[in-house]
Structure 1
Amino acid sequence: MDNIAGSKSGLTWAVHISVVLLVALWLFPTVGLLVSSFRTSDQISGSGWWQSLFAIEQNLTLRAADPDDEGTQELIDGVYTVAGNLFGTAGDADISVWGSSSRAIDAYAPGETADLGDGETMTVATNGDYVWTASEALTGRGQRVFVTAETPPEFTLDNYEQVLLSGNSTDSMAKAFFNTLTVTIPATIIPIVIAAFAAYALAWMDFPGRALLIAIIVGLLVVPLQLALIPLLKLHLDIGIGKGYLGTWMAHTGFGLPLAIYLLRNYMVGLPRDIIENAKVDGATDFQIFTKIILPLSFPALASFAIFQFLWTWNDLLVAKVFLIDATGDTTVMTNQIVELLGTRGGNWEILATAAFVSIAVPLAVFFAMQKYLVRGLLAGSVK
């Protein structure tokens, strides 16, 4: 009965449930990052991203308008008066209690008048409208008001404007974005070009030492990246390409070539031999076979490695820290910029969330655009 056509075994259901859980495990943080990037700092500190569509009750510290500002203070019936709205404009906020001191933030209900001393009084309405009066001219900064209010959902594009367009180099990631593209695009294209030629030679050309080269490439796959950083940096400094884009491209190329050659060689070996032999009979050279037959047929493997290399170089911090150090910040990449934001703006979660989502937007777009080739490329050469 367990093998009736159309029925699914318990193992199949377990696999499906596991896949759904894994997808959710990776999806929820990404969605949370996206939602948080559009929220204000008060909203983030007051509730989780999953509550972003609902009104929340928050304790807020607001301030009345500065009486020294021109046109703010008026003399009405012999009383100096400052009026306005604590939220800027009357909106959907609903104040339940308020106070003039941090030690008693719930001292007054909306509509009640507080005695601030020295002849000053303040009245706050439910929607945030206030009237601040005094017998003598008010000076200094606006009166602080502590309120407990239910605020509606609030989303803004100011976070992206500050991160991408701010003139402050500490906050702006626009330059870091283009610096990352400058590192990633050549570091993806160069190893693909070199590996494609090498893979074709190892797959279809007979020459002495071919088996030894393949064994060396397989061995290089298990060499730790950290083991080669210092010797490679010393070599780059000796030949004059250290601490710049060229040295970074060469480092990424060297670290990515073993996997690229191994992946492409396995795929090319699995291509039909008859096609290559017929092309040789027709007088095609190895270069013509490579460019007109092998490359078009190997596109899934090329795209698969391109995804891996692009994601690795885009998200890289270690190689950038070692080979791309610039005190002026002219070559700072996005991963390093986010690390600096953590140090300088560690409390501004809205800025950090926006910067982090900007950094993952391009890899997500590349992955979804080329994901159909990923599995085909990963299975290259596994089935004959």
Structure 2
Amino acid sequence: MTQAPIAVDLPTQEPAGGRRGKKRRPGSVLHVVLTIIMLMWAVPTLGLFVASFRTAEATNASGWWTAIIPPWEFTFGNYDYVLNRAGFWDSFVNSLFITIPATVLVVMVSAFAAYAFAWMHFPGRNAIFVVVVGLLVVPLQVTLIPVLALFRDASLGGYELNGTIMAVWLAHTGYGLPFAVYLLRNYVGGLPRSLFEAAEIDGAGHATIFFRLVLPMSVPVIASLVIFQFLWVWNDLLVALVYLGPVPANHPLSVTLANLTTNFGGNWQFVTAAAFVSMVVPILVFFALQRYFVRGITGGAVKG
């Protein structure tokens, strides 16, 4: 007599990723919130852009949102006034001549300093690094008079620094180094120690390690630093105005555009067009390096 087969309930195996698929994705809510914030952030810029194509009378008569409804009454007069103003293109070249060397100097000096603070051993390393980082809290304004007096009394190989573009280079380099060293040191200090130990076993010195390992691996954070420094120097008004003095031939674009308005706030409508003209180069720099931006900032913020 044969026994009846016993039915056994076996647990059914969930397909791979089944439980993972049941998790609710919070990305949709986050995307909605980020979209709302982005739109709120873009509204003033959009309003400024629309106002740059309107006359002062039209802007005073109605809000910028009324201009996007037909009939349109846009004009290129503001841009024509700004672009054809005497000294505009000279100031544009001066801005490039100031910003590019000031950015390169900060990146070069801070890269060397970051490697030294992260991987070289010398007396007082931590104390010096604390002092450098502590300079971040020193207001720029309190240094203007002492540094201006230093440039007035100093010369470089018989070349007077006061009132020259070289003075602005040195000033921006000094002001930008504390943040640059802090950012790069944290990133470089988080690189794998095994790479440096292997390079030292192979006989590589500090120079070889720096140029062959550190620089190629630090491209994201260097790109982020370039964006920060370039934007700050390009949009700077105070430092250039203080150290260059009243000589219009050396003024960058920020100073020239600030002089568009009168003492009583007249000709303000030209500033709307000038703002977008001055934004072209920084936007190109940002989009050229933006793929490294987030990776470099997060790496420099949490490592070290």
**What displacement does 1:361 show?**
2.3
Counterpart pick for 1:231 among 146, 151, 169? 146
**276-285 vs 303-312, greater mean Cα deviation:** 276-285
Counterpart pick for 1:213 among 128, 137, 144? 128
TM-score between both structures, scaled by the size of structure 2: 0.82
Counterpart pick for 2:260 among 320, 330, 341? 341
Corresponding position of 1:290: 210
**What displacement does 1:311 show?**
1.1
When the two chains are superposed, the root-mean-square deviation of aligned CA atoms in Å is: 2.4
Pairing 1:5–2:20 present: no
CA–CA separation in structure 1 for the residues paired with 2:217 and 2:41: 33
**189-198 vs 369-378, greater mean Cα deviation:** 369-378
Contact 2:106 2:180 in 1 (8 A): yes
Counterpart pick for 1:279 among 193, 199, 215? 199
CA–CA separation in structure 1 for the residues paired with 2:268 and 2:126: 54
TM-score between both structures, scaled by the size of structure 1: 0.66
State the Cα deviation string for residues 344-373 of structure 1 (Å, max 9, x = none). 694444422111111222222222332232
Instruction: Map 1:77-156; keep pairs closer than 5 Å.
Output: 152-156=71-75
* Matched letter for residue 52 of structure 2: S
Pairing 1:361–2:276 present: no
Instruction: Label 1:7 to 1:205 Cα distance change in 2 as closer, same or farther (>3 A).
Output: closer
Corresponding position of 2:249: 330
> Which structure shows the bigger proportion of residues in helix conformation?
2
Unaligned runs of 5+ in 2: 1-21, 155-159
* Matched letter for residue 202 of structure 1: F
Contact 1:173 1:355 in 2 (8 A): no
Corresponding position of 1:51: 66
CA–CA separation in structure 1 for the residues paired with 2:241 and 2:227: 22
CA–CA separation in structure 2 for the residues paired with 1:290 and 1:8: 42
CA–CA separation in structure 1 for the residues paired with 2:72 and 2:234: 34
> Which structure shows the bigger proportion of residues in strand conformation?
1
**What displacement does 1:6 show?**
1.3
Contact 2:110 2:180 in 1 (8 A): yes
Counterpart pick for 2:182 among 256, 262, 275? 262
Corresponding position of 2:157: none
CA–CA separation in structure 2 for the residues paired with 1:42 and 1:227: 41
Instruction: Label 1:25 to 1:333 Cα distance change in 2 as closer, same or farther (>3 A).
Output: farther
Corresponding position of 2:97: 182
Corresponding position of 1:204: 119
Counterpart pick for 1:23 among 38, 60, 75? 38
* Matched letter for residue 359 of structure 1: S
CA–CA separation in structure 1 for the residues paired with 2:181 and 2:265: 42
Corresponding position of 1:372: 291
Corresponding position of 1:157: 76
CA–CA separation in structure 2 for the residues paired with 1:366 and 1:47: 35
**What displacement does 1:157 show?**
3.4
State the Cα deviation string for residues 125-177 of structure 1 (Å, max 9, x = none). xxxxxxxxxxxxxxxxxxxxxxxxxxx313343432321123xx3xx532222
Pairing 1:321–2:241 present: yes
CA–CA separation in structure 2 for the residues paired with 1:162 and 1:23: 32
CA–CA separation in structure 1 for the residues paired with 2:264 and 2:250: 21
Higher relative contact order (CA 8 A, sep 6+): 2
CA–CA separation in structure 2 for the residues paired with 1:297 and 1:7: 34
Corresponding position of 1:33: 48
Pairing 1:244–2:157 present: no
Matched-pair identity in %: 46
Unaligned runs of 5+ in 1: 56-151
Query: How many residues align structurally?
Result: 277
Corresponding position of 2:219: 299
* Matched letter for residue 37 of structure 1: S
Instruction: Label 1:7 to 1:303 Cα distance change in 2 as closer, same or farther (>3 A).
Output: closer
Corresponding position of 1:140: none
